[in-house]
Structure 1
């Protein structure tokens, strides 16, 4: 992995282990946004006319990157915006399976509506729990985070593929906000029917942008009610009442959404495989070291595969100690969450481990 300090200046000042909260903004994306804003400042409506193909370009970049169909890529300002639109398009009496304790942006809007809701437990037997819940409750829809935001537990993607194969009528909807940007992924060959994400974390695209990928059959099962002037304008939305148009009723922000394309290009230039290798190396090393220090929950220790997000045992005193020593992390649940991305190094992990030992005395 090449030296990334020029691309991410903050890593020269801090040991940044907080991508799970906010991904670093790259110089590439920053420059793109600056150029967009300058053009808007000096060109006004001419700028808008010149950028008429931008949204199609962002869809095509996402479709190419994640092996999806460009005409089934919706662009939205945040995951929550798109997710609530999606929920409004489901039958009011839909039976929905959730994970107990999943990310609030998933569970809260579902629980605020009158769906028939059931739950599966998040523990070392996550996939078995889901299979049992599907068999018992026969849900219409299963909605969940690919990676859990507190524990870092990652669902087995092969399991999701098998789950869809065995339950073809089950609509499988994932939140990939803590997933997209960390590894190679093929949406078309996955078990997901719908997969959305905000792009400000592991994709490092800054705030104000998100996207949803859809399979073809979703068109016949989801009927969002939102509509506006932007719903039928632009490439891939020539026909009235397109699915993606229902997620895009108004004007979209060219700077924010165009940042996705700039961020994807940076990942392509670095190499998605190289990014995945670096993340995998760091998460394997970190998990082994944290296990030695008995810092992880038993449900995490017992799982074979894990993400690069870890919740280590620690209180506010340890959190403040790490922050005071330029280690940026988050307090989540009953511990301290640290997360490793491709711009992190083994030296970052070594510094964290050294500080943990020093704190313990």
Structure 2
């Protein structure tokens, strides 16, 4: 019996293998939101101080998950793209500056840097398909490189990079490291201090099992005041509760990036989901995900004409396995899987499967059996 069955009472026959896109909520997140809605119905915001306590618990959970030095280093943001924009349009760029990225990035971690071209910033794309992607990225950094922006895990292939190694390379060259952690945070342990990164960000709706519309932005303490602000409001002020004060300054903490009223509904859900991840423990979460990926890997590798598009080495993967079948159109295969209630995605020239720690053996084996029939 799956010990987390009660947390994920999914519809009979559903094979949910799409956590790299948008994840289901655990029962406790759903219950927390329902209770919050009922409270709003009955008493409105009478107990708002309690809501703020919950928001603080969420910051604490996120700080622990990131191994951030303090909750002061963590901002609650709308999504990864917003946090990336805070960095891209907050740094003081000079014509000729370079940003190094990989050639496998999700659009959010490419477009935001390309938008700097009118300021004379050059975007350098690096091929990371070789045997040593970290070396390729580090070697691409020149004296003009200001920032290396990279996903910890690539969204299509599932390639996991060595963040501490990249961080050490960036530190040696005086380059800032910005990590899009959305495909690692909640699937594998992640450590902003060990990685030596300047910035890191992630959404809550994938491996963190939370809702869309709420994410996290880590900004290293010494860099907070170096990012030019472009959003202003009551919430980002140092003395945020003093509405009569006429002089003001941005908060000294990462709250300076939160211009207005918080997404309290999202906070209620995400705080509950993170409580579950903490109870399971990220080391166990990572182990359970790897077991499921390994089984999918072995089962799909045995299919006639199967082509695995994700790394085969356990140290190079997190929760993503992408594959293609010879003679099968990816779109047609995706639709066939969809009809059988296999929730997955078309990415990177193939079909992407992404189980989480709670995914049952039945879901894995039923999916493999189905693929054998469709191959």
For the criterion TM > 0.5, the same-fold answer is yes
2:266 to 256, 261, 265: 256
User: How do residues 253-292 of structure 1 correspond to structure 2 at under 5 angstroms?
Assistant: 253-292=263-302
Contact 2:73 2:253 in 1 (8 A): yes
**Separation in structure 1 between the aligned mates of residue 150 and residue 129 of structure 2, nearest angstrom:** 14
The 3 A distance-change label for structure 1 pair 157 and 288 is farther
User: How do residues 1-361 of structure 1 correspond to structure 2 at under 5 angstroms?
Assistant: 2-10=2-10, 12-68=12-68, 69-93=70-94, 94-114=97-117, 115-125=121-131, 126-134=133-141, 136=142, 138-167=144-173, 169-219=174-224, 221-232=226-237, 240-242=250-252, 244-293=254-303, 295-297=306-308, 300-301=311-312, 305-314=316-325, 315-360=330-375
Contact 2:103 2:127 in 1 (8 A): yes
**Separation in structure 2 between the aligned mates of residue 100 and residue 274 of structure 1, nearest angstrom:** 32
The 3 A distance-change label for structure 1 pair 30 and 213 is same
Deviation of the 1:243 alpha carbon: 5.2
Deviation of the 1:304 alpha carbon: 5.5
**Separation in structure 2 between the aligned mates of residue 158 and residue 288 of structure 1, nearest angstrom:** 29
Contact 1:230 1:250 in 2 (8 A): yes
**3-12 or 173-182, which deviates more:** 3-12
Contact 2:153 2:181 in 1 (8 A): yes
Deviation of the 1:302 alpha carbon: 7.4
User: TM-score under structure 2 normalisation?
Assistant: 0.87
Contact 1:124 1:300 in 2 (8 A): no
1:31-78 Cα distance to aligned partner (Å, 9 max, x none): 111122222222234233442333332212211333211101000121
Contact 2:104 2:154 in 1 (8 A): no
- Name the Cα RMSD after superposition: 2.6
Deviation of the 1:165 alpha carbon: 4.2
**115-124 or 302-311, which deviates more:** 302-311
1:301-329 Cα distance to aligned partner (Å, 9 max, x none): 47862222122104222112212222111
**Separation in structure 1 between the aligned mates of residue 24 and residue 188 of structure 2, nearest angstrom:** 17
Deviation of the 1:102 alpha carbon: 0.6
Deviation of the 1:241 alpha carbon: 4.1
